[in-house]
Structure 1
Amino acid sequence: MYLTSFLRRRALLLAGLLSLAAGVQAQQVFRVTAIPDESPTELARKAAPLMKHLEKRLGMKVEFVPVTDYAAAVEALVNKKVDLAWFGGFTFVQANNRSGGKVLPLVQREEDEKFRSVFVTTDPAIKTLADLKGKDVSFGSQSSTSGHLMPRSFLLQAGIDPDRDFKRVAYSGAHDATVAAVASGKVQAGALNISVWDKLVADKKVDTDKVRVFFTTPPYYDYNWSVHADMPAAQREKLTKAFTELSRDTAEGKEILELQRATRYVPSKVENYKGIEAAAKSAGLL
């Protein structure tokens, strides 16, 4: 009987230790996601070196978790299904509101302090925003800052209401898809992120003799890497340092920053996105 009791206690202890070990191991996976503003293959390509860098700096496995749409990225961080998320300015505002102020911007690219959108077309008759009246025009995702919200905001400031003045409003879902829609003639014009446009031009993935920029917006704050406020301060500091230490002077830093289309990363704050919040409210999108 004593032997049976001893074995039972030993089995329970072993089960407890295994359960604890499994729990610790599960906690050692740091999950990252990003709004799908480009094709899945492009997002995965851009993410891979950064995930390796974060693994080294955090001392744990880092896993990139793709999502199907912008709303899924918001919900993933709000519900703490992921630890870090790449948001556009508008998706950050949505996540911050949805969480009751519990989602915080950690860092942003220096470029995101003065970000812009571009309007492109193949139609030689389109030279100004006013020329878009009566045309088929594409935005990116409805939740995109640079592919929808801010272009819509600047259109409204110019006295043009897309829902009233355009023949048709289309949503391509991603910046590169917007360019493809314009190039193929599915729409006469489209609005997208200037960074993606510049990359497509540099990679010769768009015929600039056919597709051209006819309007560039004024600057605004945009993308950031966000975390949940429940993340321990020490881990937030470690993460911030992992981003801000990246430099083009090192091979690793150069590769990551070029893939992320960044000069460098700088700390961000909630106040940077008050303008986008106001624009979303005035456009009836928040």
Structure 2
Amino acid sequence: MKSIAAALAATVALALPAHAEFQLDSRYQDADGDLVADIPTDESQLVDPDTLIFAYTPVEDPAVYADVWAGFLEHMEEVTGKKVEFFPVQSNAAQLEAMRAGRLHISGFNTGSNPIAVACAGFRPFAMMAAEDGSFGYEMEIIAPANSDAGEIEDLRDGQIAFTQETSNSGFKAPSAILKSEFNMVAGEDFEPAFSGSHDTSILGVANSDYQAAAIANSVKDRMIEREVISADQIRTIYKSQTFPTTGYGTVYNLRPELQEKIREAFFSFPWEGSALQEEFSKSGEAQFIEITFKDDWAVIRQIDEANDVSYDCQ
């Protein structure tokens, strides 16, 4: 894990453009220039639901994470005075559509889908998990089966590399940019791409030799090893990136401002000690929520999107 300053300083290694194009969908306003949708000033546009819906990023087994987040959601109920329900999402697309349609109020969007959620779904991220000392982040790794002949990226030329989803930073965007800029390898030309749907599936696929290699977030890999879903000796890392920000947590833009403040309070007042959240996320080093800004902390991700010619046009 690295500090915010160190993580952003490391972006020079990718030789990416200095500024990424970013614009919110026309349904949102950004008068203060912080790159996220403003809270509406027109009372008729604000919502105050009796039940708040929360979603974590898509994972292989959502039921596991429903239990992990249960205590946190109980804490949020106490702070907000609202009922809070866990919504198990199956894909980034479903998660984005749910927030854009008003069916999802609070969410953790993974690193790569954060800019799309901000631009197209009115997502206002404000928190991220971090270690006790405030350091944060994960690295993208390209992994291969331990018994594979592939010892470096060049060994994958004319082979296969598995990705997760096109909205994932470490599962697609960052490795695509790195493979092109550092190794002159382009999907469909220099290797065959495959899409697994999730980091869990990619990691399991490599561990079981179903994939020749896969681009994954090492925070997910570390938790799977800790849970003994796989063993460390089943896989081998052949590339490790700079440090990236982790899942960003926030609210949809049009919740009443005082409710948004209560939700923020719930995140930053949550007692980690002895919680299921601590038990799960301490496996990848997290121990608290820290405050973040999309404009600063996701700058490197917007640069990666720019390098990949990603469009934020909302359908």
Q: Work out whether the TM-score is over 0.5.
A: yes
The corresponding residue for 1:190 is: 214
C-alpha contact 1:39 1:174 (8 A) present in aligned 2: no
Count, aligned residues: 255
Structure 1 unaligned spans of 5+: 1-25
CA distance in 1, matches of 2:70, 2:234: 33
User: What is the CA RMSD across the aligned residues, in angstroms?
Assistant: 2.1
The corresponding residue for 1:35 is: 57
Which is higher, the Rg of structure 1 or of structure 2? 1
Equivalent AA in structure 1 for residue 190 of structure 2: D
The corresponding residue for 1:108 is: 128
CA distance in 1, matches of 2:59, 2:174: 15
Matched, 1:178 2:202: yes
Following TM superposition, by how much is the alpha carbon of 1:87 offset from its aligned partner in structure 2, in angstroms?
A: 0.2
The corresponding residue for 1:285 is: 310
Would the alpha carbon gap of residues 180 and 114 (structure 1) be closer, same or farther in structure 2, given more than 3 Å must change? Answer: closer
Higher relative helix content: 1
Would the alpha carbon gap of residues 137 and 230 (structure 1) be closer, same or farther in structure 2, given more than 3 Å must change? Answer: same
Would the alpha carbon gap of residues 117 and 67 (structure 1) be closer, same or farther in structure 2, given more than 3 Å must change? Answer: same
Listed one character per residue, the Cα deviations across residues 141-175 of structure 1 (whole Å, up to 9, x for unaligned) are 22222222222222222122233211x21111111
- How high is the TM-score relative to the length of structure 1? 0.81
Equivalent residue for 1:257, pick from 278, 282, 291:
278
- How high is the TM-score relative to the length of structure 2? 0.74
Equivalent AA in structure 2 for residue 172 of structure 1: S
Equivalent AA in structure 2 for residue 49 of structure 1: G
Would the alpha carbon gap of residues 285 and 209 (structure 1) be closer, same or farther in structure 2, given more than 3 Å must change? Answer: same
CA distance in 1, matches of 2:90, 2:139: 25
Equivalent residue for 1:232, pick from 253, 256, 268:
256
CA distance in 2, matches of 1:68, 1:175: 13
C-alpha contact 2:75 2:270 (8 A) present in aligned 1: no
Q: Percent identity?
A: 20
Question: Which of the pair has the greater relative contact order for Cα pairs under 8 Å at 6+ separation?
Answer: 2
Give the stretch that moved more between structures: 226-235 or 109-118: 109-118
Listed one character per residue, the Cα deviations across residues 197-256 of structure 1 (whole Å, up to 9, x for unaligned) are 1111122221333322222111122311121222223222222221122344x334xx32
CA distance in 2, matches of 1:276, 1:163: 23
Alignment of 1:1-286 (within 5 A): 27-99=49-121, 102-110=122-130, 113-122=136-145, 123-158=147-182, 159-166=184-191, 168-248=192-272, 250-252=273-275, 255-261=276-282, 262-271=286-295, 272-286=297-311
Q: Which runs of 4+ in 1 moved over 4 A?
A: none
2:202 alignment partner, SS class:
helix
CA distance in 2, matches of 1:163, 1:57: 50
C-alpha contact 1:246 1:257 (8 A) present in aligned 2: no
CA distance in 1, matches of 2:90, 2:225: 26
